[in-house]
Amino acid sequence: MRITYRGDYALKALLDLALHYDENVVTINDLAKRTDAPTKFLEQVLLGLKRGGFVESRRGKVGGYRLAKPPSEIKLGYVVRFVDGPVEPISCLEGGYSGCRDIYRCVLKNVWERVAKATSEIIDNITFEDLVSQLKKKQGAVVYAI
């Protein structure tokens, strides 16, 4: 698993939307500011998240983005896989891999499977609600105003 900038921006944007879940929509400009992402790049990221069913949007003068589901129903793992692909550390676990013969395959493959499982167990047991409460516990909600 490798988190790219695209993935990092996506997670931070969703976390920001989770922090504002009870409020109105958040504009992409505000998201870009608070996540330190280039606005036009973040647009693409959010478009992807919309197509993935993670966010909803509203166009026009009071437009913006909001989460499509409550933060408690969005697991970190879902987002990571959607944006940055499988968590497996090597392509031989992902399907079309032919870079190894059977002789060494199983013994190394087994290691990568263990790594993937350990990774999944972490990121599939964290929701954005968890992240929000960790954030609030740590610094206080007032910090997150625009």
Dist. CA 39–CA 43, nearest whole Å:
6
- Pick one of 1, 21, 34, 43: the residue that binds DNA (CB under 7 A): 43
Q: Which two tokens stand for residue 76?
A: 């970190």
110 class by beta-carbon count within 10 Å (0-12 exposed, 13-18 middle, 19+ buried): exposed
Q: Is 99 helix (H, G, I), strand (E, B) or coil?
A: coil
Burial of residue 144 (CB within 10 Å: 0-12, 13-18, 19+) is: middle
Q: Of the listed pieces 24-32, 49-57, 66-74, 136-144, which binds a copy of itself according to CB under 8 A?
A: 136-144
Instruction: Give the one residue of 33, 41, 73, 94 binding DNA; rule: CB under 7 A.
Output: 41
Interface stretch with DNA, choices 14-22, 58-66, 114-122, 131-139 (CB under 7 A)? 58-66
Which residues sit at the interface with a copy of itself, rule CB under 8 A?
Answer: 1-3, 5, 8, 11-12, 15-16, 34-36, 76, 89-90, 92, 99-101, 103-104, 106-108, 110-112, 114-115, 118-119, 121-123, 126, 131, 134-135, 138-139, 143-144
